[in-house]
Structure 1
Amino acid sequence: MFDYLIVGAGFAGAVCAERLAARGKSVVLCDRRPHVAGNAYDHYDDAGILVHQYGPHIFHTDGRRIFDYLSRFTAWRPYEHHVLAHVDGQRLPFPINIDTVNRLYGLSLDENSIGQFFAEHAENIGHPKTSEDAVVGKIGRDLYEKFFRNYTKKQWGLDPSELDASVAARVPARMNHDDRYFTDQFQVMPARGYTRMFENMLDHPNIWLVLGVDGETLRRDVRHRQMIYTGPIDDFFEHRFGPLPYRSLEFRFETHDMSKFQPGAVVNYPNEQAYTRCTEFKYLTGQRHPKTTVVYEYPQAEGDPYYPVPRPRNAELYRKYKALADATPNVHFVGRLATYRYYNMDQVVAQALGLVAQLEGIDAQAA
């Protein structure tokens, strides 16, 4: 009889497993994939380049507690993420800032005049309800059409007018020259990769790791007192109310016989291409190698679930599953897929630490 069966060895499951094991609980942690780290899994490809198998993962947080916790399992490489967007034949800084606007329109705005520029082009929306509202209400329709609309349609399979305003709020426009994608206090990458960090986290005698096995199988075969589930919540309840919509991704990797392929870690392609972005991993990892590997991302409706689709009808469907979850004894739901929220990695860590604190009846800061 184990204290906990935890389904899913990504951030949510691994953090719960480590914290519970450290408090003397016996834990079985399983994942249907043959590896730990979930979508953050990285490995060396055939050319010897460290790549992120499921797309780029850049760690950033303003939470000192989250940073300190993960620092137990990895050293860090400082890394500030920069993204370019291919628009009108130029590669321009994104999120949109003063330099983006100046280069796109041939202007010479500064921090005193950029606000007036946005105000003159913004539409009077009032309270934004959709992603389209959120963007055109701040920076106007032309920038929306060039940078946001088609990218969003590719990414989500929906027009921005059909998506919650929170989607666009993740990528604000800036009134300065700051071209970093994130502005958090801690912006780092695990020095030896995410997979090694997870392996260190799960190296505990109270954790039994089972890979390549579906959670439902272990749920039947392994005796346990409580269960922590990190997969899609609608899967758990066998799609009783119908499937929750998720977006998936197809990845096309290419290795090139050159030291550098593109001018930055990520180039977004909002308009012309079927893919949304191209990532070159050596920028992220700092690896030195005569060759380089890139990945192109093609969003799609079918495949492994990556992103919950944020729109009101989906939120309403999730609430039905949430009610079932709340009424299910000794099963706890945590993580992006199990709570149908578009969380960043640090937010998932915080949620997992909070769950452990709740289960153990301790202060959240002590988890």
Structure 2
Amino acid sequence: MKYDYLIVGAGLFGAVFAREAMNRGKTCLVLDRRDHIGGNIYTEKVEDIQVHRYGAHIFHTSDKKVWDYINQYAEFNNYINSPVAVYKNELYNLPFNMNTFSRMWNIRTPKEAREIIEGQIADLHIEEPRNLEEQALSLVGRDVYEKLVKGYTEKQWGRDCKDLPAFIIRRLPLRFTYDNNYFNDRYQGIPVGGYTRIIEKLLEGAEVRTGVDYLKERETYECAAGKIVFTGMIDEYYGYRLGALEYRSVRFETEVLDCDNYQGNAVVNYTDREVPYTRVIEHKHFEFGTQKKTVISREYSSEWKVGDEPYYPVNDEKNSVLYEKYASLAAGEDNVIFGGRLGAYRYYDMDKVIASALELADREFAGEI
């Protein structure tokens, strides 16, 4: 059978595009090299708890079109992301807000907080930040940087902040209200019953094959459809012929604990460098669970090498130049479309992934009834 579209990758981008294609009467074959659908938003039930296998995914958007779209496929609860940061034996609320500053300096008013931060910044005399450390110090002052930015960032990137370029941190928002809501978006929540159920609904009607590595079986599949939508790594598609783009990877240690509440919050960041993991996720709190046991995941940031799972593109100047060269190759393809986080070499929030897949569908099917 010849399909209209071969979609490589059963993550959010591929699933949304498949749904839109099928809604227009197209046939789709969807492949994924993993043994499950859902990509990095895959959730699985453990001890009756929806576990985010590849890290915490909290849906948030201010785009009503995207919110209305995804709500066709799930009911969302009212979860609000309010992380806690642990620095040595001190606990702080995130994002940086009056609760953070009150705890840090034993103050009460926004005026006091502004004066301390502005005073620290002025004392540093940084006019042109030469690296990430100087950039962060010039934005938030010494105390916030030392306790809540430095160690966490160095673990995330595997490098000293002095050795990272300044542009990585363009802004570090300071909120002078007592508000622990991490996101400013109007619409927020977690899908009741997990994300995998959304992908299952989006892919209804498509032929889905998991455990298939398209790039290793290209000869078998490249003529299976009129067009290919490729959501994997664009450099891998081209055999790294221009060199490998850089990514950061993440390793997860997940365990079931015989207690009903381990840390009292879904997300706890560990911001001193001596703690090897960046954060601990307690999955039950995403859905306000009351199960007798709990499941936690520790996240360890790591260097990426060819063959590892890529998570975060390193969008520095060198990699951006290399990506543009691959994008030029992609622009010359007649029947291959690249999309998603890896295909576009961009860090996308979930709402942006959905929006870009819908935009692709609109372009592909423009003029069709």
Q: What is the TM-score normalised by the length of structure 1?
A: 0.92
Distance 1:311 1:154 in 2: 18
Structure-2 residue corresponding to 1:289: 291
SS at match of 1:184: coil
Structure-2 residue corresponding to 1:64: 64
Structure-1 residue corresponding to 2:143: 142
Tell me which of 316, 328, 348 is aligned to 1:323.
Answer: 328
Match runs of 1:93-108 below 5 Å: 93-105=93-105, 107-108=106-107
Distance 1:127 1:319 in 2: 28
Question: How many aligned positions are there?
Answer: 360
Contact 1:84 1:91 in 2 (8 A): yes
Tell me which of 318, 322, 330 is aligned to 1:313.
Answer: 318
Distance 1:261 1:287 in 2: 12
Cα distance change, pair 134–68 in 1 and its aligned pair in 2 (3 A) = farther
Cα distance change, pair 312–209 in 1 and its aligned pair in 2 (3 A) = same
Distance 2:315 2:161 in 1: 11
Contact 1:265 1:279 in 2 (8 A): yes
Contact 2:83 2:182 in 1 (8 A): yes
Cα distance change, pair 125–232 in 1 and its aligned pair in 2 (3 A) = farther
Structure-1 residue corresponding to 2:50: 50
Q: String of CA shifts for 1:231-288, please: whole Å, max 9, x gaps.
A: 1111011001111111111111122111100031111111131000001011112222
Q: String of CA shifts for 1:157-214, please: whole Å, max 9, x gaps.
A: 233445465643575221211111112111111111100111111112xx11111101
Amino acid at match of 1:317: L
Could you tell me how far 1:56 is from its partner in structure 2? 0.9
Match runs of 1:163-242 below 5 Å: 163=164, 167-169=168-170, 172-204=173-205, 207-217=206-216, 219-222=218-221, 223-242=224-243
Could you tell me how far 1:113 is from its partner in structure 2? 3.4
Distance 1:201 1:169 in 2: 36
Could you tell me how far 1:96 is from its partner in structure 2? 1.4
Q: Are 2:80 and 1:80 equivalent residues in the alignment?
A: yes
Unmatched runs of 5 consecutive residues or more in structure 2: none
Percent sequence identity is 38
Contact 2:139 2:171 in 1 (8 A): no
Q: What is the TM-score normalised by the length of structure 2?
A: 0.92
Cα distance change, pair 167–78 in 1 and its aligned pair in 2 (3 A) = farther
Distance 1:187 1:166 in 2: 28
SS at match of 1:102: helix
Distance 1:165 1:64 in 2: 34
RMSD: 2.1
Cα distance change, pair 250–202 in 1 and its aligned pair in 2 (3 A) = same
Structure-1 residue corresponding to 2:277: 275
Tell me which of 350, 356, 359 is aligned to 2:355.
Answer: 350
Contact 1:163 1:310 in 2 (8 A): no
Cα distance change, pair 162–344 in 1 and its aligned pair in 2 (3 A) = farther
Contact 1:163 1:311 in 2 (8 A): no
Distance 1:31 1:292 in 2: 30
SS at match of 1:299: strand
Q: String of CA shifts for 1:57-110, please: whole Å, max 9, x gaps.
A: 1111111111111111111111101111111411110121122122122x3141
Could you tell me how far 1:218 is from its partner in structure 2? 5.4
Distance 1:42 1:141 in 2: 39
Contact 1:66 1:349 in 2 (8 A): yes
Amino acid at match of 1:189: I
Distance 1:84 1:70 in 2: 28
Contact 1:164 1:312 in 2 (8 A): no
Cα distance change, pair 83–162 in 1 and its aligned pair in 2 (3 A) = same
Cα distance change, pair 9–117 in 1 and its aligned pair in 2 (3 A) = same
